[in-house]
């Protein structure tokens, strides 16, 4: 009887394993002969969102170029903190060569990363920072620079026309806060008057839309008293876009937002949005794995690595590099 | 041997060993490392604790869908208590007490309103999740764990010495306590009686209402303790934590020989069921399976284990 149980389970497992392959690269000429290839665990915050697919593709590109093996494994449920902690522990116990991690929380992952470092497994953090000294490097968008990039463009648009408003995203969100600060610096540097910078859009598109409407009303945007607006993420940008369209201000108001979705890109095409600042998730995945490999080979790596951001405007949106960001072709890496 | 193979935990034990052997073959260098076995034991604690309580509830003929929400609410309460200046022990006690109160609420609703436990706990599942989010202001609550995190830390550091993390010992000890409770105490036998046939139990003079209440209070307290362990792992209070945990817990109990129609269940079996789920999870990570394959695999293994168990039951009936 108990042999029956074992056999049946083994059969199921064997069937499940059949047909899925690991991302093992062909060994390159450069890898030190005879030694096992490096095996690097890459742990994103989730696996189904477009953003993480691009990160995955970038990581695969690095693994193929450098002749290392990557194991791509995120929490089963998108954004599940406990499962992410379990994964870090599990890879630590497994003794992988290194762990590349996008932490879901800046404190909760600290002790697991410390334990990994204690077991001589180096950790590279990417996308979001960790309140720790135990990781080798932090590879992510420099959000302050990204905010500056966007608002330098906005400042050119509105310079002699009037003041600007900044709709913030949410209290306690570090990445967007840095974008807002970068933006304000750029606007002030160009001498643009800040009409409002203390309103928050909140977590959803719905709340961002309401906040946008009342902000535009309060500042007298329909009477031409506002020359430009900046929004620091997808939901605030979309909420603002709708509010601007409703108030018949599309095209009359300088508008720079953040992140891309089909509707936002259509907004750029239609002229309602003057620019969108985009992160580069593909490059993030690529550089994170590359940084880990450099560290494992004994090279010195920087504590902080910027993965860059790009400004998309109506003028440049058909350039190949921008197109790749807007509609990444991931199939060659993920198949 | 025949005696042994009749124990309710015998089937799950075979499954645990078979899956272990399989992953040991597929990932020989990593899966059998002692560090990995330790990590698996540690990662089974939370489901195990909740499964001990759920086993009692299911033997009694009920079900508790509010486990995941209770765990999340407890992590928030523990974080808030620590943040308010209390020590680790007070915070842990507050967490378990909160769980027991939630259990009492479930029990009173089941006995008082005579509603089906499925409906009652479906309601409290949603209500408690909302309470957790409200209490946490809809974000994660940071708190200095004040040593509470050592409950789930691997030994070897300052707190080492007993080979396994404290949390694992706690779960094992409580499993022994509640297995003995069901097998050897009068209220324990009453729980089985109520689950086997409520009317017969009532006619025999079993205090059905009181037994039901006790069972839900125990289950709630165990979920609270699981929440304390969850906080020890996370070190933050997370109101969105453990969504769907109740299903994993129910799966563990059912793999371990529990029945959704009551009267049957084994604490030891449930622990093995929980271990089986962790094995599949960890093994998939070691072999490098994508998430979607792992999910299909988990479902398939549960179904196969159940089908074989049913087949064994029938074999026993006719033989």
Residues A49 and A76 in one domain: yes
**What tens digit of pLDDT does each residue of A77-91 get?**
878 899 999 999 999
Q: Return mean pLDDT, chain B.
A: 91
**Percent of chain A at pLDDT exceeding 90:** 70
Residues 146-185 of B with CB under 8 A from A: 149, 153-154
Find the mean pLDDT for residues A117-140: 94
B108 versus A14: the higher-pLDDT residue is: B108
**What tens digit of pLDDT does each residue of B91-115 get?**
999 999 999 999 999 999 999 998 9
Residue A247 lies in a domain: yes
Among B41, B53, B43, B38, residue whose Cα is nearest residue B225: B53
pLDDT at position B311 is 80
pLDDT at position B305 is 78
Closest approach of A180 to chain B, Cα-based (Å): 21
Q: What is the pTM of this model?
A: 0.82
Cβ contacts from A onto B, under 8 A: 131
The chain A residue lying nearest B238, using CA atoms, is A81
**What tens digit of pLDDT does each residue of B235-294 get?**
999 999 999 999 999 999 999 989 889 999 999 999 999 999 999 999 999 998 888 999
Residues 122-141 of B with CB under 8 A from A: 138-140
Residue B105 lies in a domain: yes
How many folded domains does chain A comprise? 2
Q: What angle do CA B45, B47, B50 make, to 5 degrees?
A: 105
| d(C-alpha A302, C-alpha A323), whole Å | 30
Residue B54 lies in a domain: yes
Residues A275 and A150 in one domain: yes
Find the mean pLDDT for residues A298-315: 95
Residues A222 and A74 in one domain: no
Residues A102 and A155 in one domain: no
**Bridge partners (DSSP) listed for residue B237:** B141
Residue A241 lies in a domain: yes
Residue B208 lies in a domain: yes
Residue B2 lies in a domain: no
CATH of the domain at B278: 1.10.3470
Determine, for residues B233 and A8 on separate chains, whether the beta-carbon distance falls below 8 Å: no
Residue B67 lies in a domain: yes
Nearest to A20 among B29, B293, B308 (CB): B293
| d(C-alpha A309, C-alpha A307), whole Å | 7
Report the 3 state secondary structure along B53-88. Answer: HHHHHHHCCCCCCCHHHHHHHHHHHHHHHHHCCCCH
Res. A9 pLDDT band, cuts 50 70 90: low
Most confident of A246-255, B64-73, B232-241: B64-73
Cβ pair A158, A164 in contact under 8 A? yes
Cα separation values, A335 from A60, A68, A201, A281, B237, Å: 10, 17, 39, 18, 39
pLDDT at position B312 is 72
Closest approach of B234 to chain A, Cα-based (Å): 5
Q: Please determine, for residue A273, whether its predicted confidence score (pLDDT) is greater than 90.
A: yes
Cβ pair A30, A257 in contact under 8 A? no
Give per-residue burial for A104-131: e unless 16+ CB within 10 Å, then b: bbbbbbbbbbebbbeeebbbbbbbbebe
Most confident of A64-73, B26-35, B284-293: A64-73
For helices B166-184 and B267-287, give the axis angle rounded to 10 degrees.
150
pLDDT at position B81 is 96
pLDDT at position A203 is 77
Q: Which residues of B touch A103 (CB under 8 A)?
A: none
Residues A165 and A76 in one domain: no
Q: Range of B101's domain?
A: 9-312
Res. A226 pLDDT band, cuts 50 70 90: very high
**What tens digit of pLDDT does each residue of B163-189 get?**
788 999 999 999 999 999 999 999 999
Q: Return mean pLDDT, chain A.
A: 88
Residues A256 and A241 in one domain: yes
Q: Please determine, for residue B116, whether its predicted confidence score (pLDDT) is greater than 90.
A: yes
For chain A, say whether B76 makes contact (Cβ under 8 Å).
no
H/E run at residue A101: strand A98-101
**Percent of chain B at pLDDT exceeding 90:** 72
For chain A, say whether B11 makes contact (Cβ under 8 Å).
yes
Residues A234 and A176 in one domain: yes
Q: Please determine, for residue B161, whether its predicted confidence score (pLDDT) is greater than 50.
A: no
pLDDT at position B155 is 66
pLDDT at position B140 is 87
Residues A127 and A150 in one domain: no
How many folded domains does chain B comprise? 1
The CB density around residue B7, as the number of other CB atoms within 10 Å, is: 14
Q: What would the DSSP string read from start to end of B77-132? A: HHHHHHHTT--HHHHHHHHHHHHHHHHHHHHHHHHHH---HHHHHHHHHHHHHHHH
Give the distance from CA A308 to its chain's centroid.
11
Say yes or no: ipTM exceeds 0.90.
no
**What tens digit of pLDDT does each residue of A43-57 get?**
999 888 888 999 999
Residue B3 lies in a domain: no
Res. B158 pLDDT band, cuts 50 70 90: very low
Question: What is the number of alpha carbons within 13 Å of residue A38 lying toward its C-beta?
Answer: 28
Res. A29 pLDDT band, cuts 50 70 90: very low
Residues A257 and A150 in one domain: yes
Residues A192 and A89 in one domain: no
Most confident of A18-27, A214-223, B150-159, B220-229: B220-229
Q: Please determine, for residue A2, whether its predicted confidence score (pLDDT) is greater than 60.
A: no
Q: Range of A199's domain?
A: 143-279
Find the mean pLDDT for residues B309-313: 74
Find the mean pLDDT for residues A3-9: 52
Q: Which residues of B touch A12 (CB under 8 A)?
A: 297, 300-301, 304
pLDDT at position A6 is 52
| d(C-alpha A57, C-alpha A63), whole Å | 10
A28 versus B96: the higher-pLDDT residue is: B96
Residues A273 and A216 in one domain: yes
Q: What would the DSSP string read from start to end of A289-322? A: HHHHHHHHTT----SEEE--EEEE-TTTTTSHHH
Residue B4 lies in a domain: no
Residue B136 lies in a domain: yes
Residue A324 lies in a domain: no
Residues A216 and A302 in one domain: no
Q: Which residues of B touch A8 (CB under 8 A)?
A: 304, 308
| d(C-alpha B227, C-alpha B239), whole Å | 11
Q: Which residues of B touch A80 (CB under 8 A)?
A: 241, 243
pLDDT at position A303 is 95
CATH of the domain at A196: 3.40.50.2300
Cβ pair B31, B23 in contact under 8 A? yes
Residue A56 lies in a domain: yes
């Amino acid at each position: 009887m108990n042999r029956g149980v074992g056999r049946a389970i083994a059969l199921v497992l064997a069937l499940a394993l059949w047909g899925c392959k690991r991302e093992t690269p062909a060994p390159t000429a450069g890898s030190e002969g005879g030694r096992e290839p490096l095996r690097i665990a890459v742990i994103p915050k989730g696996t189904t969102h477009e953003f993480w697919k691009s990160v995955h593709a970038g990581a695969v590109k690095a693994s193929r170029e450098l002749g290392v093996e990557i194991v791509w494994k995120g929490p089963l449920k998108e954004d599940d903190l406990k499962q992410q902690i379990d994964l870090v522990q599990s890879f630590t116990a497994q003794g992988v060569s290194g762990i590349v991690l996008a932490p879901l929380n800046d404190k909760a992952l600290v002790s697991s990363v410390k334990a990994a470092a204690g077991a001589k497994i180096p950790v590279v953090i990417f996308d979001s920072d960790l309140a720790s000294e135990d990781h080798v490097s932090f590879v992510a968008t420099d959000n302050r620079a990204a905010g500056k990039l966007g608002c330098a463009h906005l400042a050119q648009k509105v310079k002699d026309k009037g003041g600007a408003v900044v709709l913030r995203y949410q209290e306690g969100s570090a990445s967007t806060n840095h974008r807002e600060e970068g933006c304000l610096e750029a606007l002030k540097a160009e001498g643009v008057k800040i009409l409002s910078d203390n309103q928050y859009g909140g977590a959803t598109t719905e709340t961002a839309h309401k906040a946008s409407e009342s902000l535009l009303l309060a500042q007298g945007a329909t009477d031409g008293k506002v020359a430009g607006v900046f929004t620091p993420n997808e939901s605030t940008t979309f909420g603002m876009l709708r509010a601007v369209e409703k108030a018949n201000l599309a095209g009359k108001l300088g508008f720079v937002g953040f992140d891309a979705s089909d509707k936002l890109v259509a907004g750029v095409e239609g002229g309602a949005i003057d620019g969108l600042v985009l992160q580069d998730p593909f490059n993030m995945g690529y550089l994170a794995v590359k940084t880990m490999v450099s560290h494992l080979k004994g090279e010195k790596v920087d504590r902080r690595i910027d993965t860059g951001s790009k400004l998309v405007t109506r003028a440049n949106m058909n350039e190949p590099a921008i197109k790749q960001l807007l509609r990444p072709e991931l199939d060659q890496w993920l198949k | 041997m025949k005696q042994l193979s009749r124990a309710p935990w015998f089937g799950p034990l075979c499954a645990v060993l078979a899956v272990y052997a399989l992953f040991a073959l597929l990932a020989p260098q990593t899966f059998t490392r002692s560090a990995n076995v330790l990590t698996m034991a540690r990662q089974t604690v939370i489901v195990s604790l909740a499964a001990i309580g759920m086993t009692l509830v299911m033997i009694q003929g009920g079900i508790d869908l509010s486990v995941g929400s209770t765990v999340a609410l407890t992590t928030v309460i523990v974080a808030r208590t620590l943040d308010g200046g209390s020590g680790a022990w007070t915070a842990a006690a507050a967490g378990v007490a909160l769980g027991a109160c939630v259990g009492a609420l479930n029990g009173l609703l089941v006995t008082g309103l005579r509603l089906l436990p499925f409906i009652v706990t479906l309601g409290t599942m949603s209500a408690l999740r909302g309470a957790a989010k409200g209490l946490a202001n809809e974000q994660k609550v940071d708190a200095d764990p004040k040593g509470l995190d050592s409950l789930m830390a691997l030994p070897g550091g300052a707190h080492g010495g007993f080979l396994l993390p404290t949390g694992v010992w706690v779960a094992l000890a409580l499993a022994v306590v509640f297995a003995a409770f069901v097998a050897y105490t009068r209220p324990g036998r009453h729980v089985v009686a109520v689950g086997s046939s409520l009317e017969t139990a009532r006619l025999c003079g079993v205090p059905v209402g009181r037994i039901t209440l006790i069972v839900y209070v125990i289950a709630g307290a165990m979920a609270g303790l699981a929440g304390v362990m969850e906080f020890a792992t996370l070190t933050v209070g997370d109101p969105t934590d453990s969504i769907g945990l109740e299903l994993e817990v129910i799966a563990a109990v059912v793999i371990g020989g529990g029945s959704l129609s009551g009267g049957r269940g084994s604490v030891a079996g449930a622990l093995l069921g929980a271990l089986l789920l962790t094995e599949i999870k960890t093994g998939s990570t070691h072999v490098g399976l994508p998430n979607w394959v792992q999910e299909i695999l988990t479902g398939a293994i549960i179904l196969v284990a159940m089908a074989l168990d049913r087949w064994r039951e029938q074999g026993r009936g006719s033989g």
